[in-house]
Amino acid sequence: MNDQDQITFYSGMNTIGGVQIVYGYKELGFVFDLGLPMGGLFNEYVKTKPPLGARHYMLTRSTPPLLNLYSPEAMEGLTMEQLQEIWKRQELPQYPNLKVFISHIHQDHMALLPYIAEDTPIYMSKDAYAVYRAVVASGEYGDTKGRIIPLEDLQEIALDEEGKVRLTIIEVDHDTPGCSGFILKTASGTKIGFTADWRRHGRHSHRMDRFIELCRNEGVEVLITEGTRLRPNTLFRQPEDRLETDVAVRYRDVIEQAAGLVYVNILGRNVERVADFILATKEAGRTLVMDASTAVLWYEATRIGIAALAGNAALTLAEEVIRVLPTLNSLSVDSSIVLPYKTISLSEVTANKAQYCVYLPYNQLPLMAELECLGDRSQISHYVHADGNPLTANDETLHRWLTEFGVQYHYFATGGHAAPQEISDLTARIQPKVVIPLHSVHPTLFDSRSIPRFYPVYGETVQIDKLLAHK
């Protein structure tokens, strides 16, 4: 048992996502986050299943080597000696009392939740909890056996029995509700600030000013920030970002000018953007058609409650605007959920295409064949792509479908990450003693404005006092 507090870095050092960090003090191990990196060993085709799949993640260094973080049956036969050899480390700290923090519900931050051991405490914001329950109900992800503890924005809790280690959750601005960073007061009194994923061009940019102010007031000494957009082509020319509020405006412009069918592809977990699109669809006099999985995600998230949507007109208009279309490729949803939306048939949509917008996730592309070939084919259809999968404007499969049917493509993306200059500004305003850029392919490109930077390596454990002395 280590009486000096320390921090271990397991993932996220030179990847987009997959941040896995463990703060440790005596018996307490505080894990944040618990996702899989983009471009790692696993993807939508190469995947495993809980609970035993935790072994595959453990043996490929895809998850923190904490034996009690996962179900005992998954860890059977695995030894510390094996893990030390895999990680090439003489020591891999273990903690009897593990607690997990999930910043938000994107797979690169929470994909390992279904593998966590039963009753392990899992902290996340209330809005993130609503999105997670909705994602599980929609069939996108499996549930967790851990014990989720939803927290209010700015709620402070003690993580250890002595009350020395304290966590204050702070909601930030990202492209999914409830995304939160924190200030962690360590046992030695050091304050660690964690931004989680964040941006400046969203509808809640003021939250980042609040985060900065709180970090300054608390005297944050160690700052951990994401650096997704640190790239050679963004270093000397700050990219211009479309405002979040502009995305639905551009979508409505397309609807009003289109004489035929309009397809929509946005991430359902961006619940606030879905609300914007519901309103825009209503204002344009159309109906929004969803598959069952997408409709369940929206319904469950808003039923449980998204604080940022309190009083939003989309909550009351949804039943009027949304119709559910049974489709072959829809995910298996929670059968206990009864949706309040009317169903619609394919023939109804194709009989009057100008009346509808079809929410068409990437996995639903085959439905386009029927929607385009049946009914009136005299008018061009339009496809609005705004940060839905695939997360690129250049996906070859998507464009082959669009070309096949002569569908006009509109790309109105605005991502969830800060520009490099904004990261530098945040760091300069907080003035920590050391800053750690993670969640980046190019972390060494970070301009910290003369504040010492620390670049951890995989599996490295650093005592907090030594981290503060880093120059």
Q: Please, what is the average pLDDT of the chain?
A: 95
Same domain, 380 and 455: no
* 224 bridge partner residues: 194, 436
Give a yes or no: residue 452 inside a domain. yes
What's residue 470's pLDDT?
Answer: 77
CA atoms within 13 A on the CB side of 115: 28
* pLDDT score, position 471: 67
3-state secondary structure of 435: strand
Q: What percent of the chain has pLDDT above 70? A: 99
Domain boundary among 384, 411, 438: 411
Give the DSSP letter string of 270-328.
-HHHHHHHHHHHHHTT-EEEE-HHHHHHHHHHHHH--GGGTT-THHHHHHHHEEE---T
Q: What is the model's pLDDT at position 237?
A: 84
Same domain, 397 and 436: no
**CATH assignment at residue 159:** 3.60.15.10
Q: What is the pLDDT of residues 218-229, one digit of tens each?
A: 999 999 999 999
- Residue 1 is predicted with a pLDDT of 60
Mean pLDDT of 83-112: 96
Calpha distance 166→187 (Å, rounded): 8
Q: CA 17, CA 227: separation in Å to the nearest integer?
A: 10
Q: How far apart are CA 408 and CA 393, in angstroms?
A: 13
Domain final position from 389, 411, 433: 411
The total domain count for the chain is: 2
Does residue 469 surpass a pLDDT of 90? no
Nearest Cα residue to 441 out of 239, 234, 223: 234
Give the integer Cα–Cα distance in Å for 315 and 321: 10
The answer to whether residues 100 and 178 belong to one domain is: yes
207 and 305 together in one domain: no
- The predicted pLDDT at position 200 comes to 96
Residues 401 and 422 occupy one common structural domain:
no
156 in a structural domain: yes
Q: Using an 8 Å Cβ cutoff, are 60 and 107 in contact?
A: no
Q: Residue 44: what pLDDT? A: 78
Identify the pLDDT of residue 43: 82
Q: What is the mean pLDDT of residues 73-96?
A: 94
Give the tens place of pLDDT for each residue, 447-466.
999 999 999 999 999 999 99
pLDDT (0 to 100) of residue 123: 98
Is 318 in the same domain as 449?
A: no
In DSSP terms, which residues pair with 453 in a beta bridge?
Answer: 435
pLDDT band, residue 178 (cuts 50/70/90):
very high
What is the tens place of the pLDDT at every residue in 111-136? 999 999 999 999 999 999 999 999 99
Specify if 263 maps to a domain: yes
Residues 174-202, mean pLDDT to the nearest whole number: 97
Same domain, 153 and 277: no
- Whether 432 maps to a domain, the answer reads yes
Specify the CATH number for the domain of residue 342.
3.40.50.10710
The residue among 1 and 35 whose pLDDT is bigger is 35
In the chain, DSSP finds a helix count (H) and a strand count (E) of: 15, 20
pLDDT for residue 155: 98
- The answer to whether residue 130 is domain-embedded is yes
200 shares its domain with 313: no
Confidence (pLDDT) at 39: 80
Nearest to 203 by CA among 174, 170, 241: 174
Pick the last residue of a domain from 411, 436, 456: 411
Same domain, 199 and 344: no
Q: Which residue has the higher pLDDT, 416 or 329?
A: 416
Residues 292 and 360 in one domain: yes
Does 2 have pLDDT greater than 90? no
Residue 239 lies in a domain: no
Q: How many CB atoms lie within 10 A of CB 393?
A: 11
Please report whether residue 376 resides in a domain: yes
Residue 254 has pLDDT above 80, yes or no: yes
Mean pLDDT computed over 134-157: 96
Structure tokens at 199: 């941006």
Same domain, residue pair 191 and 215? yes
Instruction: Output 38 or 209, whichever has higher pLDDT.
Output: 209
40: pLDDT strictly greater than 90: no
Domain that holds residue 132: 2-234+417-468
Express each pLDDT in 333-383 by its tens digit: 999 999 999 999 999 999 999 999 999 999 999 999 999 999 999 999 999
Claim to verify: residue 198 and residue 289 sit in the same structural domain = no
Residue 328 pLDDT greater than 80, yes or no? no
Express each pLDDT in 292-319 by its tens digit.
999 999 999 999 999 999 999 999 999 9
Lowest mean pLDDT among 187-201, 265-279, 315-329, 428-442: 315-329
**47 has pLDDT over 90:** no
Where does the pLDDT of residue 391 fall: very low under 50, low under 70, confident under 90, or very high at 90 and above?
confident
